[in-house]
Structures are given as structure tokens and as C-alpha cells.
Chain A
């Protein structure tokens, strides 16, 4: 089974997605960006894909302005992985958010997070049962 991570600050509200993903993947649920970063440092090379919430609390090791007061913590995490763990970057990533996809796309550009491996999906338009296929498609997508 392919190993993926699901990064969100709300385990209770993410159950539906996590349960749906578990039918196809080995899912590591990580609460918040700090846990996710620590996990990536240790197991980054084993991860095939990441599902990341955009809006999460600012971790202890970041300033509020770095994450836009938490509104872009998921993107801060990706930028950090890109800078700190170049060996595993780019990771096929789905940014699963309740924020506007345009805003998130702008923030990605602003933060110079490169790579065409990132897909932005709104939770409202993404039912739990559809997420595994989306993630699989992202993993299978040819690079370049």
C-alpha cells in the first residue's frame, strides 16, 4: 500500500476523508504543521503523496506573519519542505481547503512554491469518497 500523509488540525472533522483514504492507502494523520514537518524529516522518502490543509494554527517555530496568521500554514509547510528537504521534493500534493482556490494559488506563487505536483481542492466540492481517486491520479501523473 502506498504511504501518504494527511495533515490537518481537526482530526474529528477529517475522519470522513481519512476513513475513505484508508481503503486505498496507508494514511498517517498528522495534527498540524509542526508534527508534519517532523514526520517528513524522518519518513519523507517513504511518502508517496501528501494531503495538506491550508489553514492551520501557526506552529511554535514560526512567526504569525510567516503563516499569514495561520491562513497559509499549509503553504508555509510546503515551502519549508521544498527548502529543507530537496531530496523528497516535489511530493504529489493535494491542498484540501475550505479557502478559495484562487487565494491559495496566489499564495503558492507568492511563496515561490514550484512544481506541477500540487493540486488545490475545495473540501466543499470534494466528497470523501472522491478523494482517494484524486490522490491516486496525482501520484500517477507523469512528471513534467
Chain B
């Protein structure tokens, strides 16, 4: 009978599952159950909630009243300290289960009509966080035998405990349901806010006093859990945040939990000596924890779904309790499942952040790459400014700098920053001097972090206060503490070993400790890498556009010059009445050279100047068909330009060859122009044909700026210009590349024969090109 009623009550509780747990709603059922057990005429149940961690109810708390059906509503209940039943005051001072035995008398409690032969029995019980008084009204004979009543009291108490367990189970289930629903319904805002929300959700699910979220950082030299978010049950309870940045390194309980892949639950840190003392918790010494008021703690591993099978935790949830009895004891499996759900949430937040960042980066790239009316340099500058703002906002950093490779030099150059500090005097670099900030790998800079990131092509973080511009600071330098910095390489669209730039972030602000600076964690470095991956191709596009714009400017400039020469020469011819042969010859050579320059320049404007070369071989005498055309013109050009002479030796040793005369002429012209441009004023250029074993050889030598060994490796590379060449003449660096390509297309070769004093290039024609008569 009683069992069936009890199970009926349990069923009722199940029906309430879809609603919030409501003790008050269950009280009438409990009262009915107790009435049945006691075989009493009536029963009512009074309940008062006990605050967490307290053993006695709050004196201000209100008693919740539930009545068995036979009793009328007893109204508001009463103050906790007093219980008036049937005109008597029941004292609730102790915890004895049967608190009061009262005779039935005239009642002051509402409309209950009590007969003379009845008694009331008050039984005090303890539910999970409720004090319960069961007031049973029955026949006087019920109370005649106190032994029977004691047994009755025990039975009622046992029933109440069963109900309490059921309520607790329902409470756990409800909290887990709320936990899953909360993280499933959560609208992400920013990782910092989302991770804090996650901690708060754990607090709600477990009744912990505060919760810390740690994410594992597998970066080189890190290999530890880093504090990513905190939440305290009392939001003003800042004292319960960790007092300073600490990470969980190897050997701590966090690491122990990670390796086991199971929750570590320490009911009472005071009696769990062994590991606490040894590991210091990896974060705080036990004494520090005790000082914070921690008595009990849980470590729950967080799994990324793909890693769940391997049980390698990607992070940890630390739950701390002031009172061990406050914990809500979810089952081990439930806790692991919540850890997996947390891993999913963390992954989702990161993916969501990544997606949002990608969308924003894409919009940024589209906006600035489409600014065709703006110069590429200006568009890139504005793009970088916006990009830096994006990184600052997304990564919560104070200072961002972008570096880009310097072509033809082992160096990276600052192309945008929110503020760099220059080593000289520790003063900030002026905004217009940004381009002067160059990390040069050839100098004593190899130990510098930006250069290290660029040359090694890997991301890393530095967490010690050291000026990033130099490893050794002089006494005059005011060192500014550049806080933990992250360096991430930027790769181009086609990834190769060498990056094209570096993103450097410093002054990282902590999501946990307000404005305090803190290290970058793995997730943040990953986010930076995602940004760098998107930025690389955009910067490369700008680089190409800038190079092309520069090339067009140079060619446009250079095209105007021969035109002006033609214009002025023709005007001179028209104005001069008595032209001598010399005048005519001079003017003719000017016009011829100018015309040839225009032709050569026009060809370089082709998007692929090398790809357009076609070969139409025909029997050709180098001297008669090519040199003869160039000789007078180039000699004139060399004389006027640099006061130089060109000596052409006899080409008798070279027979008729099957080559494309246009290609060979182009190669020779380019070599001679270079020989003049980069030659010593007043010196002589020599063109020396020679027959060698298996090949015919035409060497063009000049005395001039020369070529270094390092430059020699790249001298035929399209676009490459040596430092000496740059200081002597403007140009695109295509002359030698075109000459080499022209020679190869026609079956020959172009070789660098001497680096300097004199510098020599040789046109090589294999003997198989010889035309047999």
C-alpha cells in the first residue's frame, strides 16, 4: 500500500520532468503519502529551504506549506523559528527526527476542526536542501505508544529520504538538460564571451563556486594548459579568480587528468595530500587554494570529437567548491559526456570565429582589390590599416605589425604597424619612417624574432620581456616591456618553403584578467595563422600590381625620352639650312637608336615578354646580317651616352649559322645596351668572336660595375637587378632574361663568363647550327 503510494509519488515527479523542479508542487503528494503511512486522519508538510553550505534555515526564509487532501490550506505558513500547532508552540531547535509530540487542543491554525481524541505528531526530516516538518493528525490511540510512533517516524524519514534522492536525481537531470540546451542554443558573440558563458553554464550544472576553462597549448616549448576563461558563481567574487596568470604544466593534476582522459574528483583537498603536495595543482599551491576558500575540486577533461577515441584532452574544466557537500554529483559517464559536449562547443566557437573572420577578411580583400582607380600602393596601405584593426579586435591585442619581404634582399620590411619601438633611444618609430624598419638577415639580426619567424617559416610565441629589436640593449636605451608576442608567417598563394611576410602581435590583453597582458594560447595563434593564410595571396596580388605599375611607369617614362629625341632631332634637321654629311649621319644615328629603344621598350610591356619570343631560323651571317646593322648605331649610342668605344673584332671565324637573326640581334642589342649603361665612362667594350671546341662563341666584355658572386646566381632571373645596376640606371631587369631566352630559343646559349674586370657575357652557338653549303 505504502510502496504503491510511494511509487505513485515518483511517477508524479516524473510527470513534472518537463517543468522546473518544484518542491512546492510535490508537497501535497508527500503529505498524502505521509498521512497514509501514519494511517492518520490528516497530514501536512512544512518545508523551508536551507541555503547552500548552511545547516540551519535562514531565519527570514518563508515556510512552504503542503497539505494532505483532508486538511484545508493552512495559509502562509509561519516564521521558521516557531511552529504553532494546535495552540502550542513547537520549538525547532534541535535535529531530532521526532521533534514534538503535542496534545490536541483548541487550534489557532485556520479552520481545522480537531476532535478531542486526536493528537498531532511533528516529525522533522531533512531533504537535500530542505527541512521538512511532517505534522500528522490522528487518533489519540495513535500516539499512545511512543515506540510505535518512533518506528513510524523512522519510516516517514526513510520515505522522505527516498523522495530527496529522487528530487536530487531529477535535479541533476534537469541541470544537465539545461546545460546541453544552453550550449546548444547559445548564439556566439566572441570567443572570450563564449568561453566565459561556457564556464557559467558549468557553474549552473554543477553548483560549483567557480569554474576555470583551460585549453591545451601544444606549441613548441609550451606543452601546457593555459587559462582561457573564468567564471564565479558570485560575479562580484573576483577574489576567487586566480590571482595571476598560471598555466598547468606537466605533472600537475591537469596533466594527470589529461593523460587519464577521465575526470579527477577531489572531494576534500585537505585530505588528499599525496598529489596536491607533489604537483601543487600545477597552478596554485594547496595553501593558496585553501586561502581562496577552496575545499573541493574537479578536473574534467574536454575532448575534441575527433580526439575522443584517443582520450587526448584538448582542455580542462576546473570546478572549485567551497563546500564539498554542495557539489552535485553527476555520474562519471555524465561528466565525460558533458566534457565531450564542451569540446564540441569549444570547437564550434573556434570554427564560428574562424568563419566570421574569413568573411570579414574576404570583404576587406574584395573592397580594396577592387579599388582600381587608386594606386596599388595606396590601396595596399589602406587595406593593411583595416587589417591591423581587424587583428587587434579579433585577437584582443594592442599592437600589430605586418612585415613583408624585400625583393632581392635577405630582409623583411615593416609595411604597417600600430607602433614599433626602435632600438635607438627606445623611441617610437615615426609613422612616416615605417618603411625604414627593416630586419636584415645579412646583418647581426638573425636572432631577432621577426626575422626568425620569416626565415624559418613557423609560428611561435615569445613570453619574456625583451626588446624585440635587439638582443643586447645599450645602457642608454629605455627598454619598453614588450609583452608576450606572437609571430606568424604569411605564405603566398602557392605555398613554398619561404614565407612572404610576418604578422607580429604584442600587448595581448587577457580575457580573464581585464586589461592585464598575457600570453597567446594555441587557439589564438591558430586564429592568427588563419588570418595570415588569407592575407598572403592578397598581399601578393598587391605586390604584383605595384610591380606592374612601377614597370609601366618606368616604360612610360622611358618611351617618352626617345620620342622627344626624335622630335628635337627632326626639328633640328628642318631648321638647319646647310646640313653637312656629318650632321646627317649624326642625326640619322640618333633617330635609329631612338627608334630601336622604342621598339625594345614596347616589347617589355607585354605581360609575358619572354613567352612571346618565336623562332624562325634562317641562314644568317652574324657579322653581315646582324652586327652590320647594330655596329654604327650602338657605337654612336656608346659614344654619346658614356664616351665609350665598341671594338668589334673580325667575325671571319664564324660561318653562316641557322638561327633566327631577330632573336640573336635582340640578344646582342640587350648585352651592348647593358655594357654601355653599366660600363666605365670612356672605357672600351669588346665584341670578340671565337671558334671553340664544338661551338662558336661571341663574347661581349666591358669594364664597369661588375657582378658579385651572389648576384651571379640570379643575374638571368627576370626582374632581378643588382644593387650596382640600380644605382646606375632605371630599368626592369628584363634585358638579360630576354637575351638568354632569345638565345635558347634559337638553339644557342648565353653564359656569364667573367664577373668583373672585365665583365663578360658570351653568346654560344653549337656547331650543329652551322649551315652546310
Contacts of B571 in A (CB 8 A): 127-129
Task: Given A11-B640, A55-B730, A59-B727, check contact A98 B560 (CB 8 Å).
Answer: yes
Partner of A58, one of B572, B575, B727: B727
- For residue A15, which residues in chain B have a CB less than 8 angstroms away from its CB? 565, 590, 640
Which residue of chain B lies nearest to A96 when distances are taken between CB atoms in the complex? B564
Which residues of chain A from 89 to 119 have a CB within 8 Å of any chain B CB? 98-99
B679 to chain A, nearest CB (A): 12
Q: What residues of chain A lie closer than 8 Å to B640, measured between beta carbons?
A: 11-12, 15
| Chain A residues whose CB sits within 8 angstroms of the CB of B564 once the complex forms | 13, 16, 123-124
Q: With a CB–CB cut-off of 8 A, which chain B residues contact A16?
A: 564-565, 568-569, 572
> B561 near A: Cβ within 8 Å?
yes
**A128 vs B556: C-alpha distance in the bound complex, in angstroms?**
20
Give Cα distance in the complex from A12 to B550, angstroms: 23
Q: Which of B556, B568, B727 contacts A60 (CB 8 A)?
A: B727
Are the CB atoms of B560 and A124 closer together than 8 Å?
A: yes
Q: Which of A36-44, A63-71, A77-85, A136-144 contacts B (4 or more CB under 8 A)?
A: A63-71
A64 to B436, CA, bound (A): 10
CA of A37 to CA of B571, assembled, Å: 33
**Residue A45 lies at the interface, judged by CB distance under 8 Å to chain B:** no
Q: Taking the nearest CB of chain A, how far is it from the CB of B159, in angstroms? A: 87
Given the complex, which residues of A lie within 8 Å of B567, measured CB to CB?
Answer: 127
**Any B CB within 8 A of the CB of A132:** no
Interface string of B590-615 (1 = CB under 8 A from A): 10011000000000000000000000
- Tell me if B469 counts as interface (CB < 8 A to partner A): no
Q: Is B190 an interface residue (CB 8 A)?
A: no
**B641 at interface, CB cutoff 8 A:** yes
B108 within 8 A of A: no
Chain A, residue nearest B641 (CB): A12
B557 and A98 contact, CB distance less than 8 A: yes
Residues on B with C-beta less than 8 A from A63 are: 436
The answer to whether B435 has its CB under 8 Å from any CB of chain A is: yes
Question: A72 → chain B, closest Cβ, in Å?
Answer: 12
Nearest CB of chain A from residue B414's CB, rounded to whole Å: 11
- Shortest Cβ gap from B569 to chain A (Å): 7
Sort chain B's interface into a size bin: 20 to 34
Give the residues in chain A near B471, CB-CB below 8 Å.
none
Does B439 lie at the interface of the complex (its beta carbon under 8 Å from any beta carbon of A)? no
For the complex, give the distance between the alpha carbons of A13 and B726 in Å. 19
> When the two chains form the complex, which single residue of B435, B436, B594, B730 contacts A9, counting CB atoms closer than 8 Å?
B730
- Residues of chain A with a CB closer than 8 A to B569's CB: 16
Roughly how many angstroms separate A64 CA and B407 CA in the complex, as a whole number?
12
Cβ of B693 under 8 Å from chain A: no
Which residues of chain B from 604 to 640 have a CB within 8 Å of any chain A CB? Answer: 637, 640
CA distance A55 to B637 in the complex (A): 21
**A34, A70, A99, A124 — which one has the most chain B CB atoms within 10 A of its CB?**
A70
CA gap between A109 and B728 in the complex, in Å = 27
**Within the complex, what minimum Cβ distance (angstroms) separates A51 from chain B?**
14
A45, B591: Cα distance in complex, Å: 38
* A10 contact from B436, B554, B590, B641, Cβ within 8 A: B641
Could you say which residues of chain A place their CB within 8 Å of the CB of B590? 15
Q: How far is the CA of A17 from the CA of B569 in the complex (A)?
A: 10
A11 B436 Cβ-Cβ under 8 A = no
* Interface presence of B562 (CB below 8 A): yes
Give Cα distance in the complex from A74 to B564, angstroms: 19
Interface presence of B332 (CB below 8 A): no
**Least Cβ–Cβ distance between B621 and chain A, in angstroms:** 29
Task: Look across to chain A and name the residue whose beta carbon is closest to the beta carbon of B436.
Answer: A65
Say yes or no for B729: interface residue by CB 8 A criterion: yes
Task: Tell me if B553 is interfacial: C-beta within 8 Å of chain A.
Answer: yes
Given contacts A71-B553, A98-B561, A124-B560, contact A56 B435 (CB under 8 A): no
| B642 at interface by CB-CB < 8 Å | yes
**A20 (CB) vs chain B CBs: closest residue:** B568
Q: Which residue of A lies closest to B676 (CB)?
A: A12
Q: How far is the CA of A117 from the CA of B20 in the complex (A)?
A: 88
A87 to B698, CA, bound (A): 54
Instruction: Give Cα A32 to B730, complex, Å.
Output: 11
Residues of A within 8 A of B550 (CB): 69, 71
Q: CA–CA, A128 to B561, complex, Å? A: 12
Q: A34–B726 Cα gap in the complex (Å)?
A: 13
Q: Encode contact with A along B537-580: 1 for CB under 8 Å, 0 otherwise.
A: 00000000000001001101100111111011101100100000
Question: Which of B634-658 touch A at CB < 8 Å?
Answer: 637, 640-642
State the Cβ distance, A77 to closest chain B Cβ, in Å.
Answer: 14
A129 CA / B569 CA spacing, docked (Å): 11
Contact A57 B730 (CB under 8 A): yes
| Inter-subunit contact B730/A70 (CB<8 Å) | yes
Chain A residues near B553 (CB-CB < 8 A)? 71, 99
Contacts of B435 in A (CB 8 A): 65
The answer to whether B562 and A13 have CB atoms under 8 Å apart is yes
Tell me how far the C-beta of B432 lies from the nearest C-beta in chain A, rounded to whole angstroms. Answer: 9
When the two chains form their complex, are residues B726 and A57 in contact, meaning their CB atoms are under 8 A apart? yes
Query: How many angstroms between the C-alpha atoms of A70 and B556 in the bound complex?
Result: 14
Chain A residues lying within 8 Å of B593, measured Cβ to Cβ, are: 12
Contact A10 B568 (CB under 8 A): no
B406 to chain A: closest residue by CB = A64
Q: CA–CA, A20 to B567, complex, Å?
A: 13
Q: Which residues of B lie under 8 Å from residue A17 when comparing CB positions?
A: 568
Q: How far is the CB of B269 from chain A (nearest CB, A)?
A: 61
Q: How far, in Å, is A99 (CB) from chain B's closest CB?
A: 7
A137 CB to nearest B CB, Å: 20
In the assembled complex, the Cα of A55 lies from the Cα of B561 at a distance in Å of 12
For the complex, give the distance between the alpha carbons of A69 and B726 in Å: 9
Which of B550, B562, B567, B730 counts the most chain A CB atoms within 10 A? B730
Instruction: Give the distance in Å from the alpha carbon of A137 to the alpha carbon of B458 in the complex.
Output: 62
B641 pairs with A98, CB closer than 8 A = no
A99, B554: Cα distance in complex, Å: 10
Q: How far is the CA of A60 from the CA of B724 in the complex (A)?
A: 8
Write the chain A residue with the least CB distance to B553: A71
A34 to B593, CA, bound (A): 27
Closest residue of chain A to B413, judged by CB?
A: A65
* Closest beta carbon of chain B to A19's beta carbon, Å: 8
Given known contacts A13-B561, A123-B560, A123-B561, A57 and B728 CB-to-CB distance under 8 angstroms: yes
Q: Are A58 and B726 in contact, CB atoms less than 8 angstroms apart? A: yes
Contacting residues, chain A, for B730 (C-beta < 8 A): 9, 55-57, 70
In the assembled complex, how far is the CB of residue B724 from the closest CB belonging to chain A, in whole angstroms? Answer: 9
Name the distance in Å between B89's Cβ and chain A's nearest Cβ: 94
Binary interface profile of B, 427-444, with partner A (CB < 8 Å = 1, else 0)? Answer: 000000001100000000
Q: Which one of B568, B641, B727, B729 contacts A127 once the chains associate, using CB atoms below 8 Å?
A: B568
- Looking at the assembled complex, report how far the CB atom of A136 sits from the nearest CB atom of chain B, in whole angstroms: 19
Bound CA–CA A93/B564 (angstroms): 21
* CA of A55 to CA of B730, assembled, Å: 8
**Contact code string A1-26 (vs B, CB < 8 Å = 1, else 0):** 00000000111110111011000000
Residues of B within 8 A of A (CB): 435-436, 550, 553-554, 556-557, 560-565, 567-569, 571-572, 575, 590, 593-594, 637, 640-642, 726-730
> 13 A-B Cβ contacts within 8 A?
A11-B642, A16-B565, A16-B568, A16-B572, A19-B572, A55-B730, A57-B726, A58-B727, A71-B550, A71-B553, A98-B560, A124-B564, A127-B571
Additional pairs, 4, CB under 8 Å, beyond known A11-B641, A16-B572, A32-B728: A12-B593, A60-B727, A64-B726, A123-B561
Taking Cβ atoms with an 8 Å cutoff, the residues of A that contact B are 9-13, 15-17, 19-20, 32, 34, 55-60, 63-65, 69-71, 98-99, 123-124, 127-129
3 residue pairs, one from A and one from B, having the closest CB atoms: A16-B568, A98-B560, A12-B641
